[in-house]
């Protein structure tokens, strides 16, 4: 039972294999139109079989209850209903035999075959046909619901166009994006969707990124910046130089990530799989006991009248309703739906296990720079000692342009805006959490925070230690030469993020940063965070988070930029990378990737996780509850095979519909 999808993929009418499930890139899972046509023919044939069986069953019931003389002759009624049974019964029988060859003795196919065979044995021919007919209809409807949900997810995620205009010798021609190579130039007209990742060649352009990030506000991208597949061009024709092949675009990686996420099972999925493997043989044994035990009771209690056909019928009802299809299908589908809904909102879960784990988070640790703050620093002051401002900026530009740190980028931008020419830098080394060292124009340069300079025995002005702004100090040949003061700004939704998390009862929120403790405390006060810690190196953060995760009852999520914080992301129970769109480092190190720079998506991720968990629990409790009631009613003789089939199919369909409703929710 744990591998129900594999069983269904052989010859069952309306199975997933025949329904043509889409691959991660949104195409038909088969390679040729001939095979796809064969799939449609198979589905049509399955529908013909169902209609044939239904018509023959209906005519048979009419002939039986109208008292038609010739229909009452010995053997004619049996043959009639046997013919009605074969169109829907043979495929199920084939699946049961296939499962037996795989040494899977207890599955839903064998349950249905036993129930139908038992009904024939006691002369309940119409019910034998009805068991298989309605089971087949129910399975077909379930598979179509599952297929539709899977297709919807794939279509929502894979939004790449099938054609693009590429510049070749004869001008722009329309080709498949798969044939476009790195370095080639493509053209996308207004309203067109980007088919491949590339570098923008226009001065700037506006793009709708909602397909990737879930955000409706267009984003401005400038010349030389990267444009990602799936974005939509707003207002003008743009030209891109392709920098990644079709299969390696950011969107392709997202699709692969979502596909692989379905393979990482949540605890509830693993439980259902183990439960189904034990449950099916147990209910088969119980059905046998329902038939046999009353016979022994009648031997001990003569007043108890035992009728074999009656108790066999009750056992068959028990078998039919016991089929756990609703659980085996709807629970994995519930997690898959949650992963798909999160992806639409710009949140990538790397597995159903993380979707489940985020619901248990009671402590969240945020990095500051680039996570709750914009990471876009502005220089607010400059001071020099024994050197001109132009010379100081030239040295800083030479060193800082070798770094990708947000502070370094701000310094570089500030210097270039003033027309500063960089010196020649060599032997550059970056000291994580401190700064950089280099040789510029033959001089030993140290650039970084106050700790770096004092650690090198370099005297700095005392007042710098009391300044709460971010300080970039510079020393030349062991002598303090000046500093820049920089400030960062909170992201627009940073305060809202903390409020939403508290509303979700995540009250233990902490802030970690390599900035000075005074700066971190100031930001924490503005955000409403009670616990804030500064002056931390990356390894200090790792030790801090490791100690937190070891505390009993703590379920810790760390939210960082996915690159400098990779060790901490790996150590936390759930690592959440911010702004990870297109970042290999973020995707590799984190369990959850927020594709935008919005920290409020962390609260959204928790809400989606909890919604998914509630839906899964509803399916488990609802399916077991309804089946329990009908099982009891069948055992006591108050339920028929017809009722058992309808209850089984109905519960399964309701569970599937409940599982996919998360796709229609707005988060």
CA distances from 546 to 212, 324, 385, 513 (A): 33, 41, 43, 16
B/e letters for 174-188, b = 16+ CB within 10 Å, e = fewer, are ebebeebeeebbbbb
pLDDT above 70 (res 583) = no
336 and 264 Cβ atoms separated by less than 8 Å: no
Cα 616 from chain centroid (whole Å):
15
Is the backbone of residue 468 left (phi > 0), alpha (psi -120 to 50) or beta? alpha
Domain 378-487 - what CATH class? alpha beta
**pLDDT value of position 322:** 73
pLDDT above 60 (res 553) = yes
318 and 627 Cβ atoms separated by less than 8 Å: no
495 and 511 Cβ atoms separated by less than 8 Å: no
Domains 164-248 and 347-373+490-595 agree in fold = no
B/e letters for 609-633, b = 16+ CB within 10 Å, e = fewer, are bbbbbebbebbbebbbebbeebbeb
Phi, psi of 561 (to 5 degrees): -85, 0
Phi, psi of 363 (to 5 degrees): -140, 130
Least confident of 125-134, 181-190, 276-285, 311-320: 276-285
DSSP string, 72-120: GSTTHHHHHHHHHHHHHHHHHHHHHHHHHHTT--SSHHHHHHHHHHHHH
For the segment 213-240, the average pLDDT, to the nearest whole number, is 82
Between CA 468 and CA 463 the distance in angstroms is 10
For the segment 455-462, the average pLDDT, to the nearest whole number, is 86
Domain 347-373+490-595 - what CATH class? alpha beta
**pLDDT value of position 587:** 63
Tell me: the pLDDT tens digits for 49-87?
889 988 998 898 888 888 787 887 768 888 998 999 999
**pLDDT value of position 557:** 93
Pure H helices in 428-560: 450-455, 462-466, 494-503, 517-527, 538-550
CB atoms within 10 A of CB 664: 9
Q: Report percent pLDDT > 70 for the chain.
A: 82
DSSP string, 252-275: HHHHHHHHHHTTS--HHHHHHHHH
Whole-angstrom Cα Rg for the chain = 33
For the segment 633-646, the average pLDDT, to the nearest whole number, is 78
**pLDDT value of position 34:** 52
Q: Which is more confidently placed, 103 or 149?
A: 103
Architecture of domain 164-248: Distorted Sandwich (2.70)
**pLDDT value of position 148:** 62
**pLDDT value of position 238:** 93
Whats the size of the chain, residue-wise? 667
Least confident of 97-106, 256-265, 357-366, 485-494: 256-265
pLDDT above 50 (res 3) = no
Between CA 51 and CA 48 the distance in angstroms is 5
Q: Which is more confidently placed, 640 or 51?
A: 51
Catalytic sites, residue numbers: 367
Cα 301 from chain centroid (whole Å):
59
Between CA 575 and CA 423 the distance in angstroms is 40
**pLDDT value of position 378:** 82
pLDDT band of residue 4 (cuts 50, 70, 90) is very low
Q: Which is more confidently placed, 323 or 5?
A: 323
Instruction: Count Cα atoms within 13 angstroms, Cβ side, for 326.
Output: 30
pLDDT above 80 (res 28) = no
Is the backbone of residue 641 left (phi > 0), alpha (psi -120 to 50) or beta? alpha
pLDDT band of residue 306 (cuts 50, 70, 90) is confident
Tell me: the pLDDT tens digits for 322-365?
777 677 777 877 888 888 888 888 888 888 888 889 999 999 99
Residues in contact with 638: Cβ distance below 8 Å, sequence separation at least 6, in sequence order: none
**pLDDT value of position 47:** 85
pLDDT band of residue 502 (cuts 50, 70, 90) is very high
209 and 248 Cβ atoms separated by less than 8 Å: no
pLDDT above 70 (res 15) = no
Tell me: the pLDDT tens digits for 588-628?
678 888 877 789 999 999 999 999 999 989 988 888 888 78
Least confident of 32-46, 129-143, 216-230, 457-471: 32-46
Between CA 168 and CA 184 the distance in angstroms is 8
DSSP string, 163-223: -EEEEETTEEEEE-GGGPPTT-EEEE-TTPBP-S-EEE-SSEEEEE-HHHH---S-EEEET
Q: What is residue 403's DSSP assignment? A: -
Q: Which is more confidently placed, 149 or 565?
A: 565
**pLDDT value of position 311:** 87
Q: ∠46-47-48 over CA atoms, to 5°?
A: 90
CA distances from 395 to 359, 384, 428, 430 (A): 49, 12, 12, 15
pTM: 0.67
Phi, psi of 605 (to 5 degrees): -60, -40
SS3 category, 55: helix
451 and 485 Cβ atoms separated by less than 8 Å: no
pLDDT above 80 (res 389) = yes
175 and 166 Cβ atoms separated by less than 8 Å: yes
**What is the overall mean pLDDT for the chain?**
80
Between CA 86 and CA 74 the distance in angstroms is 20
Phi, psi of 401 (to 5 degrees): -70, -5
Between CA 238 and CA 625 the distance in angstroms is 58
**pLDDT value of position 647:** 75
263 and 274 Cβ atoms separated by less than 8 Å: no
pLDDT above 80 (res 134) = no
Selection from 165-174, 431-440, 531-540 with the highest mean pLDDT: 165-174
Tell me: the pLDDT tens digits for 29-58?
334 445 555 566 777 787 888 899 889 988
For the chain, give every domain's residue range.
4-156+259-337+610-664, 164-248, 347-373+490-595, 378-487
572-580: list long-range contacts, CB under 8 Å, 24+ apart: 572/365, 572/545, 573/357, 573/360, 573/361, 573/549, 574/354, 574/357, 574/358, 574/361, 576/602, 576/605, 578/370, 578/371, 579/370, 580/348
DSSP string, 289-327: HHHHHHHHHHHH-TTS---HHHHHHHHHHHHHHT--HHH
CA distances from 417 to 229, 379, 410, 646 (A): 32, 12, 11, 74
Tell me: the pLDDT tens digits for 259-293?
665 566 666 666 666 666 677 778 778 888 988 88
Residues in contact with 94: Cβ distance below 8 Å, sequence separation at least 6, in sequence order: 10, 11
């Amino acid at each position: 039972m744990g591998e129900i999808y594999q069983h269904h993929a052989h010859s069952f009418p309306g199975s997933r294999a025949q329904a043509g499930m889409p691959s991660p890139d949104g195409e038909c899972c088969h390679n040729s139109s001939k095979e796809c046509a064969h799939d449609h023919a198979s589905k049509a044939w399955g529908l013909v079989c169902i209609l044939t069986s239904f018509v023959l069953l209906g005519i048979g019931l009419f002939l039986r209850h109208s008292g038609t003389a010739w229909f009452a002759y010995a053997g004619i009624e049996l043959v009639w209903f046997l013919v009605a049974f074969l169109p829907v019964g043979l495929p199920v029988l084939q699946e049961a035999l296939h499962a037996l060859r795989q040494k899977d003795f207890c599955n839903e196919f064998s349950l249905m075959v036993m129930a139908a065979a038992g009904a024939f044995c006691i002369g309940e021919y119409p019910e034998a046909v009805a068991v298989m007919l309605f089971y087949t209809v129910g399975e077909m409807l379930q598979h179509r619901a599952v297929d539709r949900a899977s297709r919807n997810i794939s279509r929502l995620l894979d939004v790449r166009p099938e054609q693009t205009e590429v510049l070749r010798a004869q001008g722009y021609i329309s080709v498949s994006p798969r044939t476009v190579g790195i370095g080639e130039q493509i053209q996308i007209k207004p309203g067109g969707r980007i088919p491949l990742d590339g570098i923008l060649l226009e001065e700037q352009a506006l793009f709708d990124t909602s397909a990737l990030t879930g955000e409706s506000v267009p984003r401005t991208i400038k010349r030389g910046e990267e444009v990602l597949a799936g974005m939509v061009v707003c207002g003008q024709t743009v030209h891109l130089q392709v920098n990644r092949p079709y299969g390696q675009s950011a969107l392709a990686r997202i699709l692969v990530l979502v596909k692989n996420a379905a393979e990482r099972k949540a605890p509830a999925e693993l439980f259902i799989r183990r439960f189904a493997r034990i449950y099916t043989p147990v209910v088969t044994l119980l059905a046998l006991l329902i038939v046999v035990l009353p016979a022994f009771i009648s031997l001990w209690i003569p007043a108890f009248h035992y009728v074999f056909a009656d108790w066999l019928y009750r056992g068959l009802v028990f078998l039919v309703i016991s089929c756990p299809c609703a659980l085996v299908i709807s629970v994995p589908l519930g997690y898959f739906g949650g992963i798909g809904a999160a992806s639409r909102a710009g949140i990538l879960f790397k597995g159903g296990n993380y979707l489940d784990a985020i619901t248990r988070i009671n402590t969240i640790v945020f990095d500051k720079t680039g996570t709750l703050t914009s990471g876009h620093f502005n220089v607010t002051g400059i001071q020099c000692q024994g050197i001109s401002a132009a010379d100081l900026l030239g040295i800083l530009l030479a060193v800082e342009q070798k770094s990708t740190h947000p502070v370094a980028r701000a310094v570089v931008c500030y210097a270039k805006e003033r027309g500063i020419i960089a010196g020649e830098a060599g032997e550059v080394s970056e000291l994580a959490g401190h700064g950089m060292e280099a040789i510029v124009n033959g001089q030993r340069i140290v650039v970084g925070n106050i700790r770096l300079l004092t650690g090198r025995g370099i005297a700095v002005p005392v007042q710098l230690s009391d300044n709460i702004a971010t300080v970039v100090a510079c020393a030349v040949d062991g002598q303090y030469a000046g500093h820049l003061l920089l400030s960062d700004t909170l992201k627009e939704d940073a305060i809202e993020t903390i409020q939403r998390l508290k509303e979700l009862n995540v009250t233990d929120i902490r802030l970690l940063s390599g900035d000075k403790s005074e700066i971190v405390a100031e930001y924490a006060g503005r955000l409403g965070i009670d616990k804030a810690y500064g002056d931390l190196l990356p390894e200090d953060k790792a030790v801090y988070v490791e100690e937190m995760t070891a505390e009993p009852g703590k379920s810790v999520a760390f939210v960082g930029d996915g690159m400098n914080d990779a060790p901490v992301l790996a150590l936390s129970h759930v690592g959440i990378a911010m702004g990870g769109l297109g970042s290999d480092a973020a995707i590799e190190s984190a369990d959850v990737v927020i594709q935008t720079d919005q920290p409020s998506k962390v609260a959204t991720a928790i809400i989606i996780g909890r919604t998914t968990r509630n839906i899964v629990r509803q399916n488990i409790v609802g399916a077991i509850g309804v089946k329990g009631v009908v099982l009891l009613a069948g055992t006591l003789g108050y339920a028929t095979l017809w009722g058992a089939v309808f209850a089984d199919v109905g519960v399964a369909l309701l569970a599937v519909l409940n599982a996919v409703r998360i796709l229609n929710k707005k988060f």
